[in-house]
Structure 1
Amino acid sequence: MHGIESPAAVRAAVRLDEVTKRYGRGRAAVEALRGVSAELPAGSFTAVMGPSGSGKSTFLHCAAGLDRPTSGRVLLEDTDLSGLRERRLTRLRRDRIGFVFQSFNLLPSLTARQNIVLPQRLARRRTDREWVREVVERVGLAGRLDHRPGELSGGQQQRVAIARALAAKPAVVFADEPTGALDLSTGRDILALLRAAVDAWRQTLVMVTHDPAAAAYADRVLFLADGTIVDAMDRPGAARIADRMTLLGA
């Protein structure tokens, strides 16, 4: 078994059991993940790192239910994603998982406010206005809610994306290179917001990143190489993370 387990006393928000993901067939087949097992504790911030082609994005896509493993299981809290039909899986992603991407993925014709509450509108669920107000204040958007994405800076657009992810009170937020399109100072602000969501609200956060400074905001860093988890560090500094990445050839 290739994996890292959290202490048994800590409830896992996401668990991967012997997950393999294979693309293609025969000699052309590529194994992006090879028997990966990991527990991602509830209320924690986990960063996933590795060289290009190590399986980071595939790890996130399988853990978030965006892609199905070739073999093995992925559990979100007590739900086994592997056996869900596509419609139910889509509903689960909408209701219990939040996403933050490098490209923001905002609808340009909607205001910041409308983008934030859009998932709940699509699900025909009542919006918890008090909670949304708290989230908006936390991410610093109170004065920009009536602006469309084209009228916002990159950092402000990412704040909208974070607010949208948190507004539905998801079990887990998955972030894929959330600071990749931002300058250094703005990126630090966004990482501080993500850290605050974990500390203040016990939000579970899983972030894929190539940046040791970004990974240093996490409680735990998982290192992937050739489709397997080869190491894990608890609360490491950026220099230690960078040294480990150098050994992986990144």
Structure 2
Amino acid sequence: MNGTPSPYAHEVVKLDSVRKIYGGSKNRVAALDGVSIGLPRGSFTAVMGPSGSGKSTFLHCAAGLDRPTSGTVLLDGVDLGPLGEKELTELRRERIGFVFQAFNLLPALNVVDNVTLPLRLAGRRPNRSEVDEVIERVGLASRRNNRPGELSGGQQQRVAIARALVTKPAVIFGDEPTGALDTYTAREVLTLLREAVQWAGQTIVMVTHDPVAAAHADRVLFLADGRIVSALERPTADLVAERMTHLGAWGNESTAPRTSHGVR
């Protein structure tokens, strides 16, 4: 694979003047319009914005799932631009973990086999003690032989998080990881992601529409019309909701979600 990552690179993900254009000359849409941002190693970043603001495109370009029209994306020190599809696939497998709203588990495999699947796909022999540690960390030590159909939604998402952690990736991307969960279970999963940053030094980038979820992050980036228009350090759910309201993300007051404190 081209490119050698720098072990001293402070920013695990770096976007420089990234633009992503969809459509032709008559129906041209700039999903990302000159985005430049660096995401530090060992940090938890939430990405928010109104519908159509470019959140998913931001995640897809940052993770090498989509190629920007122009600009540069560096992941763990590697410039994604020159990489071919095979090299991109290898990089994603080795250095990126994904946690989606859909758990994407294989129903025929038990917890251990689902967790270790990325390692086996990469031709790496799972280290049993490391796998056991990750499964214990996510609270599933007693369910290791269960299949997804025997687990609750929250437990299935814990399997997905363990699967993302087991390869020790440079960064984990989450796309609405708590979107399919109830409030209590979502809080448990978010706490687990927060702990992964603390005990494993993991870097997490999470797209979400939920102010309570975003409040678990170190920093929230707000997108609008394909640009980063604001950022919030040490966020609270109330501050995030207020900022989103100013962006017009929820239209009028009747459609704005309430935070845990009842503030719209």
| Fold equivalence (TM over 0.5) | yes
Matched, 1:140 2:139: yes
Runs ≥4 residues deviating over 6 A: none
CA RMSD of aligned residues (A): 1.1
Displacement of 1:10 in angstroms is 8.0
Residue equivalent to 1:176: 175
Residue equivalent to 1:3: none
Matched, 1:236 2:255: no
Residue equivalent to 1:212: 211
CA distance in 1, matches of 2:113, 2:150: 14
CA distance in 2, matches of 1:129, 1:165: 16
CA distance in 2, matches of 1:241, 1:235: 10
Residue equivalent to 1:115: 114
Structure 1 SS opposite 2:134: helix
Residues 10 and 246 from structure 1, CA distance in 2 versus in 1: closer, same or farther, beyond 3 angstroms?
A: farther
Displacement of 1:235 in angstroms is 0.6
Displacement of 1:116 in angstroms is 0.3
Which ranges of structure 2 fall in alignment gaps of 5 or more residues?
1-7, 250-264
Displacement of 1:128 in angstroms is 2.1
Displacement of 1:13 in angstroms is 0.5
Which deviations, in whole Å up to 9, do the C-alpha atoms of 1:178-212 show, x marking residues without a partner? Answer: 00000000000000000000011110000000000
Contact 2:131 2:166 in 1 (8 A): yes
Which ranges of structure 1 fall in alignment gaps of 5 or more residues?
1-8
1:48 alignment partner AA: V
Which deviations, in whole Å up to 9, do the C-alpha atoms of 1:54-77 show, x marking residues without a partner? Answer: 000000000011100010010012
Residue equivalent to 1:81: 80
The structure with higher relative contact order (CA 8 Å, sep 6+) is 1
2:188 alignment partner AA: D
Segment drifting more, 124-133 vs 73-82: 124-133
Displacement of 1:95 in angstroms is 0.5
Structure 2 SS opposite 1:26: coil
TM-score by length of 2: 0.90
Residues 75 and 135 from structure 1, CA distance in 2 versus in 1: closer, same or farther, beyond 3 angstroms?
A: same
CA distance in 2, matches of 1:113, 1:77: 28
- The alignment covers a number of residue pairs equal to 242
1:169 alignment partner AA: K
CA distance in 2, matches of 1:126, 1:157: 23
Q: Percent identity?
A: 68
Contact 2:14 2:74 in 1 (8 A): yes
- Give the 5 Å matches for 1:64-79: 64-79=63-78
TM-score by length of 1: 0.95
CA distance in 1, matches of 2:146, 2:133: 19
CA distance in 1, matches of 2:235, 2:225: 22
1:40 alignment partner AA: L
CA distance in 1, matches of 2:214, 2:199: 19
CA distance in 2, matches of 1:214, 1:10: 28
1:201 alignment partner AA: A
Structure 2 SS opposite 1:110: coil
Matched, 1:100 2:99: yes
